[in-house]
Amino acid sequence: MKNWNFKLKKPPKEVIEKLTSKLNSIGGFSFKTKNTNTFSFRKRILYPWYYAFQNWTVVNGEFIENNVENITEVKISFKQHFLIKLIIVTHLILGLGLVLGLFLATDNQSLTYILGGLVIAFGIIIWITATRKFNNDSKKYKVLITKTLGV
């Protein structure tokens, strides 16, 4: 999870309206406001097979309004989607379990260890790819928010 904080000289209602209009004009985003001071958005998926390519990063935001100074503090956090974390952990546990189970049940056949090692390697590759995509998506969302709100 990454956090990003900044201050604006605009009321929260105006900031949400700008974000909503910008994200709706771009298209492909799911934008939700829970109340007047919080929001969340992510890329919308149209087909299940797009899940592995688009819907990895969720952006959550909160506004803290300071009426004395007419400043709105914006706190934004970027998180990886829960299912991506679940896929990574599942591959690592499956691979380790496969290697351990084969170690206890077989006569040390090298092919079985290679299979378990490949499952673990696949989990590590997914982990590295997910981390890179998360960092790139975070940068893209920061640029999008910066351009939209004029930070």
DSSP for the chain reads -EEEEEEESS-HHHHHHHHHHHHHHH-SEEEEEEETTEEEEEE--SSGGGHHHH--EEEEEEEEEETTTTEEEEEEEEEE-HHHHHHHHHHHHHHHHHHHHHHHHSS--HHHHHHHHHHHHHHHHHHHHHHHHHHHHHHHHHHHHHHHHT-
Can you give the pLDDT at residue 33? 78
Residue-range domains of the chain with CATH: 2-81 (3.30.310.80)
Distance CA 76, CA 8 (A): 13
Can you give the pLDDT at residue 50? 63
Tens of pLDDT, residue by residue, the chain (151 residues): 788 888 888 887 888 888 888 887 777 777 777 777 888 887 777 666 666 566 678 888 888 887 777 788 888 899 888 877 887 788 778 877 777 777 777 666 777 777 777 877 887 888 888 889 888 988 988 898 888 887 6
Can you give the pLDDT at residue 39? 81
